[in-house]
Amino acid sequence: MASVTISNVGKSFGTMSVLHNINIDIENHEFVVLVGPSGCGKSTLLRMIAGLETVSSGEVRIGERVVNNLPARERDIAMVFQNYALYPHMTSYENMSFSLRLRKRPQAEIDQKVRDAASTLNLLPFLDRSPRQLSGGQRQRVAMGRALVRDAQVFLYDEPLSNLDAKLRVVMRTEIKALHQRLKTTSIYVTHDQIEAMTMADRIVVMNGGRIEQIGSPLDLYDRPANLFVAGFLGSPSMNFLKGQMRRSDRQAFVETEGGMWLPVSPDAAAREGQPVICGIRPEHIAISGDGGVPATVEVVEPTGPNIEVFISLAGQSASAVISERRTFRPGEEIALHWLPEHASVFDPETGQRL
Amino acid sequence: MNLSAGFKPLAMILPGLALAVLIIGYPIYDLGYASLHEVSRFGQFRGLNGLTNFRDVFQDPLFYGSLIRTVIWTFAVVGGTLALSLPIAMMLNEEFYGRGLARVIIMLPWSISLTMTAVVWRWALNGRAGLFNATLMDLGILKEPIEWLGEAHQAFTVEILIGILVSIPFTTTIFLGGLSALPQDSYEAAAVDGATRWDQFRHITLPLMKPFINIAVVLNVIYVFNSLPIIWVMTEGGPANGTDILVTYLYKLAFRFGQLGKASAISLIMFGVLMVFTIIYVLLVMRGEAGADAEE
Amino acid sequence: MLKKSLLFWLILSPLVVVILFPFGVMFVTAFRPREELFTYPPTWTFSEFRWANFAEMWVKTNFGRALLNSLYVSVLSTVLAMILSIPAAYALSRYRFPGKRAYRTFLLMTQMMSPIVLVLGLFRMMVTLGLVNTLNSLVLTYAAFNMAFTIWMLQSYFSTIPRDLEEAAWIDGAGHLTSLLRVFLPLAVPAMAVTAIFGFINSWNEFVLALTMIRSSDGFTLPVQIYSQVAGRYQIEWHHVMAATMLATLPVAIVFSWLQRFLIRGMALGAVK
Ligand SMILES: Nc1ncnc2c1ncn2[C@@H]1O[C@H](COP(=O)(O)OP(=O)(O)O)[C@@H](O)[C@H]1O
Ligand SMILES: [Mg+2]
């Protein structure tokens, strides 16, 4: 097991530059998730770590070794592919044992390792089947098993769950996390699904347009997003953004909207009086009552089961709130909103950065 | 898999490329050279004679006769083939009892060398001994046996029909490839919108098949324009040069009459015509690919 | 369904009859005793299956020799074309490289080049190379003219084999050669076999080049040998000609019938598109 260090890494395909100045330090045993919208360069970065793409600039290190020019097979990594990449002409057993056979391990050891991995993954009954005869979930497990038998330094995952149905995805998510807690192999996991990122990661790397937006633990990122992109990307339903101007009085701070509504925000925000800003408040941080607070109008109500999502209009801007108590709302109903000032972040509309 | 592949892919295509350039490139150069020289019937060059060979060609009435027949031959065979192949492909694309067998039978002429097909037909069409006349007479369609290949017009017509017959399998295959890629849901949507079978054909099948029809036209034009064996085996361009097309005339000039300079000139003229069609084909293919790339 | 099937067969029947007609003629002529060849009016029936026709034909038309020549030329040219095409098709389906577009255009163009237009130049080239009247001249030219088709066909099949299988093999510890041999090749073999068989059939049936390059009858391939039995002869032994034609075409026709669906698939995959 090893750390992975990515320093000043850039990548271009021909003249098109897709990754710019990427720096990530991944510690031994860490589970790091790269998350971002599709096309932002996550797979490319992962494939550079794997040795499937060349590194255009900068340095990739696994442990102490610079691996920029090392072929994939010498990097001692294992990878789970999005489409599993199972060898169609081999059985599950042969798929899982392929790497060991290439390394000419003794037959007894191969057998032992494959069976161990298979029992961990509940694959024992399927070892003689070819990938064609397996369900999507079973194929995914064989792909995992292929990585597992390796005792590799680093596990790489490229959206391994995106081809599974929603239920199975949740199950596998937990299994992969449990597996990591047991084996503690350094893992880098690529996904575009922010829930996967939040639930699985020790640390999340949020990427956008070939750049890193923020690195941090899931709750750090959730509570103190560094910019509008991270704030909007993490969390579902996503954060409300309301435009206005900064107002300060005593110890308190507010954002005044165009309609003259005063939204309480954290007084720590580094914004001048009168500066145009964006107030960000998560739907689940909003409480609804009959009066007091910020007045708003109910537009659409969507119960999701555990919660109710209320779409509202606030001084001509749209927002949403998620509440868990059972109560009924009528469209058009006048309501009042409350939240704790420290739950509301303030962003600079020019730069998108948190203030 | 965008490895720093370097020169590897070039090394992989190079040996094949070298053979193709040698076998296809060198003869073109040689023909160009020969067409500008006086050449003895044994192939010795006797000095530059400018465009004399080309002038000879353009003053030759047999050249014009062959040229006209080449145009007729190409248009008739390609037109007939397309007119028959699209409905055949559409039928073969539907489920029906014995479809597998029907496909095999219709593809059959493709597997057989044109030479052999022509030999068999030449025998079958024999005036007195051929089974074609005999069968027609048994059916009461003919009273007297006909010498099908004895007279130029008639022989040429027969050759065109056989040309169509042997071109159908290839064309049908292209169309079947195209039809199998048509989106089924547009038909369902059209049916829901109240389109009749004919509407569906006109407004869905035909427009969507257009790229395949274009390609089939160009490929067939090229193949038919260049096809020697049927006419060569059945009539050798005769009687009295009455079924000669450019390829048979060219072959006679080169390998019977030893007029190598003139034959080189005709080769080059044909090469030019072929180039025009080839460029059309390449543009069609590239356009299709550009469209496919844009969809990705 | 039944009604539709009957209707379709009815519409197709004239074509089916015309396609099968020459096979019928071939069959009844090949087996008929020589005396019954020129009876008038000719009939479809005949008095006995004269198997001896085939034995006579074999000797008289030097069939065995021509068969060997055809096999030699077709096998060797196919092997040569495949050896040159497989790496080229792999490069096309797997790598980006400078000049790729130009190379694909070149392939399309050579696919369109027909031997007949170049035949005079080719003949003169073979004279220069001292290859005229040798079967190897045909091996070289057939391979060159078939290559565009085989490369095109192979690359469209290769492109359906996912790249990440090879990548997975590298990560599993395989070198390029090992991943080619143990992962790519087993998956590509069926496509290669199909392509090779089509290349073989093309060579087997070729006429113009064989007619031109081979001057002495010892080197004739089957199409030329059969043609020489009917060309410029006073007396044509039609029963021998038909027996020879039948022997030369039937095996190929059977293999082809079995494989034709792969050709349609190849076209749908982009062999023509
Ligand atoms: N082999 C390639 N050649 C050219 N561009 C590529 C290649 N692979 C990826 N790209 C481009 O790089 C960008 C990042 O792609 P990728 O890493 O696959 O994104 P993600 O995995 O985040 O969805 C995209 O714009 C994509 O089009
Ligand atoms: Mg990706």
pLDDT of residue B289: 64
Rounded to whole angstroms, the Cα distance separating B81 from B78 reads 5
Q: How confident is the model at residue B196 (pLDDT cuts 50, 70, 90)?
A: confident
Beta bridge partners of A281: A240
Quick: pLDDT tens for C19-61.
Answer: 999 999 999 999 988 888 887 788 888 888 888 889 888 988 8
Residue B51, pLDDT > 90, answer no
Give contacts of A72 with chain C, Cβ < 8 Å: 167, 170-171
Compute the distance from residue A93 Cα to the ligand 2 centre, in Å.
28
Chain A: give the shortest CA distance to residue B2, in Å.
6
A123 phi/psi in degrees, rounded to 5 = -110, 0
Which pLDDT score is estimated for C114?
A: 83
Do A285 and A240 form a contact (C-beta atoms < 8 A)?
A: no
| Cα gap B212→B218, rounded to integer Å | 10
Residue A179 is given by DSSP the state H
Q: What is the pLDDT of residue B290?
A: 61
Ligand 1 pocket by Cβ (under 6 Å): A 13, 18, 36, 38-44; B 2
Partners of residue A54 in chain B, C-beta under 8 Å: 2-4
Name which of C140, C223, C272 is nearest B23 (Cβ-Cβ): C140
CA distance B42 to chain C (A): 10
Q: Which domains does chain C have, with CATH numbers?
A: 1-50 (no CATH), 60-266 (1.10.3720.10)
Whole-number Å distance, alpha carbon A191 to ligand 2 midpoint, is: 8
Q: Does A39 touch chain B (CB under 8 A)?
A: no
Residue with more model confidence, C93 or B285: C93
3-state SS, one letter per residue, for chain C = CHHHHHHHHHHHHHHHHHHHHHHHHHHHHHHCCHHHCCCCCCCCCCCCCCCHHHHHHHHHCCHHHHHHHHHHHHHHHHHHHHHHHHHHHHHHHHCCCCCHHHHHHHHHHHHHCCHHHHHHHHHHHHHHHCCCCCHHHHHHHHHHHHHHHHHHHHHHHHCCCCHHHHHHHHHCCCCHHHHHHHHHHHHHHHHHHHHHHHHHHHHHHCCHHHHHHCCCHHHCCHHHHHHHHHCCCCCCCHHHHHHHHHHHHHHHHHHHHHHHHHHHHHHHHHHCC
Indicate the residue of C165, C167, C174 with minimum beta-carbon distance to A102: C174
b/e B118-150 (16+ beta carbons within 10 angstroms → b): bbbbbbbbbeebbbbbbbebeeeeeeebbebbe
Looking at the CA of residue A40, tell me the nearest atom of ligand 1: 22
pLDDT at C273 over 50: no
Long-range contacts from B208-214, C-beta under 8 angstroms, 24+ separation: B208/B178, B208/B182, B208/B183, B209/B86, B209/B175, B209/B178, B209/B179, B209/B182, B211/B178, B211/B284, B211/B288, B211/C273, B212/B174, B212/B175, B212/B177, B212/B178, B212/C272, B213/B82, B213/B86, B213/B175, B214/B284
Give chains near B: 3+ CB pairs under 8 A. A, C
8 Å CB contact between A176 and A164: no
> From the CA of C60, how many Å to the nearest CA of chain B?
18
CATH number for the region A240-347 comes to 2.40.50.140
Residue B95 is assigned to a structural domain of this protein: yes
Which residues of chain C neighbour A87 with C-beta distances below 8 Å?
A: 165, 168-169, 183
Instruction: State ipTM.
Output: 0.88
Residue with the nearest Cα to atom 17 of ligand 1? A41
Q: Which domain holds residue B243?
A: 61-258
Q: Is residue B126 pLDDT above 50, yes or no? A: yes
User: What gap in Å lies between CA A154 and CA A150, rounded to an integer?
Assistant: 10
pLDDT at residue B203 is higher than 90: no
Evaluate if residue B3 carries a pLDDT over 60: no
Give the pair of three-digit tokens for residue A131: 């990938």
Compare CB distances from B19 to C108, C143, C212 and report the shortest one's residue: C143
Condensed to tens digits (0 to 9), the pLDDT of residues C68-83 reads: 999 999 999 999 999 9
Average pLDDT, rounded, for chain B: 86
* Alpha-carbon distances, residue B278 vs B75, B215, B245, B248, C208 (angstroms): 17, 11, 20, 21, 21
- For B5, which residue in chain A has the nearest alpha carbon? A54
Domain count along chain B: 1
Note the pTM of the prediction, 2 decimals: 0.84
Q: What does the pLDDT look like over B227-277, one tens digit per residue?
A: 999 999 999 887 888 899 999 999 999 988 888 888 999 999 999 988 888
- How confident is residue B295, by pLDDT bands cut at 50, 70 and 90? very low
In chain A, where are the structural domains located? 4-233, 240-347
Which numbered ligand comes closest to the C-alpha of A44? 1
Pick the residue whose CA is nearest to atom 7 on ligand 1.
A13
List the Cα angle A345/A347/A348 in 5-degree steps.
160
**pLDDT at C267 exceeding the cut of 70:** no
Identify the pLDDT of residue A312: 93
pLDDT at residue number A267:
87
Say whether A240-347 and A4-233 share the same fold: no
Does A72 lie at the interface with B, CB-CB under 8 angstroms? Answer: no
Nearest ligand (C-alpha, residue A159): 2
Query: What pLDDT score does B2 carry?
Result: 43
Sign of CA dihedral C108, C112, C113, C114: positive
- Does residue B28 belong to any structural domain of this protein? no
Beta strands in chain A (DSSP E): 4-13, 16-26, 31-35, 57-62, 65-66, 77-80, 154-158, 186-191, 203-208, 211-216, 240-249, 252-256, 262-265, 276-281, 287-289, 294-303, 308-314, 317-323, 334-338, 345-347
- The length of chain A in residues reads 355
Q: Which CATH architecture has domain A4-233?
A: 3-Layer(aba) Sandwich (3.40)
Q: What is the CATH number of the domain that holds B124?
A: 1.10.3720.10
On whether residue B120 sits in a domain, the answer given is yes
Among candidate residues A233, A200, A238, the one with its CA nearest the CA of residue A214: A233
Amino acid in the structure at residue B113: S
Q: What is the pLDDT of residue C268?
A: 57
Is A54 within 8 Å of B1 when comparing Cβ atoms?
no
pLDDT given at position C272: 42
For C193-227, the pLDDT digits (tens) are 888 988 898 899 999 999 999 999 899 999 999 99
Give the pLDDT of residue A69: 92
Low-confidence ranges of chain A (pLDDT < 50): none
Give the number of the atom of ligand 1 that is nearest the alpha carbon of residue A210: 14
Residue A230: its pLDDT value, please? 95
The CA-based angle A281-A190-A57, given to 5 degrees, is 105
Band of residue B182 on the pLDDT scale cut at 50, 70, 90: confident
B203 to chain C, closest Cα gap in Å: 21
A146 touches chain C (CB under 8 A): yes
Choice from A44, A79, A192, A211 to test ligand 1 binding pocket (greatest atom count within 8 A of CB) = A44
